[in-house]
Amino acid sequence: MSAKVSVICLCFNHEKYVEEAMNSVLAQTYPTELIVVDDASSDNSVRKINDYVKQHSNINIQTLFFEKNVGNCKAFNSALELTNADYIIDLAADDILLPDRVEEGVKNMELNPKLAINFTNANYIDEEGEYMKSHYSINKKGNATVHVPHGNLFHHILARYFICSPTMMYRASFFKEIGGYDENLAYEDFDLMLRLSRKYPFSYTDRILVEKRVLNASMSTKQYKRGSNQLESTLKICKKAAEMIQDKIEKRALLKRIAYEAKQAFVYKRFLIFIAFIKLGVKIILQK
CATH number at residue 56: 3.90.550.10
Q: Are the C-beta atoms of 174 and 181 separated by less than 8 Å?
A: no
User: Domain check: are 170 and 246 in the same one?
Assistant: no
Domain boundary among 217, 249, 267: 217
Q: Does residue 282 register a pLDDT over 70?
A: yes
User: Domain check: are 191 and 60 in the same one?
Assistant: yes
What is the tens place of the pLDDT at every residue in 83-97? Answer: 999 999 999 999 999
User: Domain check: are 58 and 142 in the same one?
Assistant: yes
User: Domain check: are 213 and 230 in the same one?
Assistant: no
Q: Does residue 227 register a pLDDT over 70?
A: no
- Rg over CA atoms, the chain: 19
User: Domain check: are 99 and 157 in the same one?
Assistant: yes
User: Domain check: are 132 and 237 in the same one?
Assistant: no
Q: Measuring CA to CA, which residue among 63, 59, 54, 55 is closest to residue 26?
A: 59
* Domain residue limits at 231: 223-286
Higher pLDDT, 12 or 217: 12
Domain boundary among 200, 217, 234: 217
Q: What is the pLDDT of residue 22?
A: 98
Q: Which residues contact 267 (CB under 8 A, 6 or more apart)?
A: 224
- Split at pLDDT 50, 70, 90, the class of 217 is low
Q: What is the pLDDT of residue 96?
A: 98
Average pLDDT, the chain: 95
Q: Euclidean distance between the first and final Cα of the chain, in Å?
A: 50
3-state secondary structure of 121: strand
Total-model pTM: 0.94
Task: Give the C-alpha separation, 205 to 203, whole Å.
Answer: 7
Kindly state the average pLDDT of the residues 134-146.
97
Kindly state the average pLDDT of the residues 211-221.
75
Q: Does residue 1 register a pLDDT over 60?
A: no
Q: Which residues contact 53 (CB under 8 A, 6 or more apart)?
A: 36, 61, 63
3-state secondary structure of 23: helix
Strand-strand pairing, 87-92 and 61-66? unpaired
User: Domain check: are 211 and 277 in the same one?
Assistant: no
Domain boundary among 192, 217, 242: 217
Q: What is the pLDDT of residue 229?
A: 86
Q: Does residue 128 register a pLDDT over 90?
A: yes
Number of domains making up the chain = 2
User: Domain check: are 55 and 107 in the same one?
Assistant: yes
